[in-house]
Structure 1
């Protein structure tokens, strides 16, 4: 008997959920965005991207929402493998395999922070193992594997030099939760209502710690994809410098473009329209090229 999670649990159709709430009719999308969230976050992190003419799907990691009771994934590669299997089983995936199909919609694989590592692995698996063409790989706010750390960070890098982060990773250490809250507050992106609520924190911290360990252990590049590469960064993000982001170059044999958005480590939600414009333009230029 298979122990693999059902596709619906590890790949969430955020656009379909939005239509159910709004009762809006389904429209043919001009872009399909497959999103990998950062450490501790659920697929719904990407809900800000949902538009009537954009199909947004989020990878749902174990340990949160519909997968709350599932054990954490052991590696980034395991997260990417289950997401790739779910994508391959999706009805729309056949169009991505057939060049020139009338229903063909550009597929963007997008990952933020830890999700950038998952996205790189996922795009590689889709292209090399599933035969699914990716129009664009977009990586945000994450230093590439093997790149020297930015001092006093940890979230966007491989090893984690931040003292609060190191103390917070061990849930049995005295003051671990308080250290993790201090680190999250400096990083930004987590609502104060969560940081100040012990019960909510108790639900979120196990998944966050598991994700951070997995992210820090990731030390390889997957087989490169032929899709263009888009590198994204907040202008005030101290967790990853332009050089560390640029070091993702080996994951693609296509052209590289770069975009910066005002803000820190989590700037994308405040610039959703601009992000979609950039994704659509870069995906279109890659397909025409």
Structure 2
């Protein structure tokens, strides 16, 4: 069985910085940092738009079933998402040895994943290093208990379990309650059955493969940055620390005020932490 979802690998990598320049008319320059971002369950590449800054190139991994890939079938596994993303990265101009304006070898490459995206990011960084020969400067994982570790909650949330079966008449409402407690989803979406129904198939597909993912990938040599919200009750410090074996490099830990989705509210601090861990000693 193939480990890669159907579709063009190039479609799964969205240059959010290029989109921003297109809207603003700003010229392209050499970034100080390049961040490959893996979104959480149900989210699209645009989840990471908040990270875009003039001197930071932000590329979002676009999972099938949303935005520009809305009509594509769901990926069969976390590994399949990572395999497709790794192929797209390997084919990117800045990773292939060509010399466009933003292809400076001094630009640190960061792989960042939030919640379910942390599992995709760990697999992606491992595949880049071990299968594509591309080493990343930093692997940053946020708000996710490592595969195989004991979840702080012990058992899945009751609304989460009830919401996974689309045939259950109360499933959509159960997932809406779960998303509301988690935060990060606009109330305008949660309160609108039509909008919610458009998003739930991708969310359910992501949750299933995330809950079935139990194995850590081969370790990378890059430093590891573990991120968590101080009020996030979905993962504790021990669950984050269980990611340690995915890296043979130094491990850094940061906590930001907030719940399960604290990163957008602390963008500047997050970017400072990413650059400090990816390129220690470089003037900022």
Same fold (TM over 0.5): yes
> Equivalent residue for 1:263?
258
1:67 to 62, 66, 69: 69
Kindly state the Cα deviation for residue 161 of structure 1 after the two structures are TM-superposed.
Answer: 1.8
Q: Residues 1-289 of structure 1: matches in 2 within 5 Å?
A: 4-95=6-97, 102-151=104-153, 161-285=156-280
Distance 2:247 2:218 in 1: 8
Q: How many residue pairs get matched?
A: 276
Kindly state the Cα deviation for residue 102 of structure 1 after the two structures are TM-superposed.
Answer: 4.7
Residue-by-residue CA offset, 1:171-213 (whole Å, 9 max, x unaligned) = 1012101111111111111000000011110110000000000
Distance 1:151 1:246 in 2: 16
Matched residue SS, 2:93: coil
Kindly state the Cα deviation for residue 7 of structure 1 after the two structures are TM-superposed.
Answer: 3.5
TM-score normalised over the length of structure 1: 0.92
Kindly state the Cα deviation for residue 149 of structure 1 after the two structures are TM-superposed.
Answer: 1.6
Distance 1:151 1:17 in 2: 39
Matched residue SS, 1:5: coil
Structure 2 CA distance for partners of 1:150 and 1:23, relative to 1, 3 Å: same
Runs of 4+ in 1 over 2 A off after TM superposition: 2-8, 101-104
Structure 2 CA distance for partners of 1:76 and 1:286, relative to 1, 3 Å: farther
Structure 2 CA distance for partners of 1:4 and 1:91, relative to 1, 3 Å: farther
Kindly state the Cα deviation for residue 253 of structure 1 after the two structures are TM-superposed.
Answer: 0.2
Structure 2 CA distance for partners of 1:211 and 1:150, relative to 1, 3 Å: same
**Aligned alpha-carbon RMSD (Å):** 1.9
Distance 1:93 1:86 in 2: 10
Distance 1:193 1:222 in 2: 38
Distance 1:6 1:102 in 2: 26
Distance 1:132 1:94 in 2: 9
Unaligned runs of 5+ in 2: none
Structure 2 CA distance for partners of 1:41 and 1:102, relative to 1, 3 Å: closer
Distance 2:190 2:71 in 1: 22
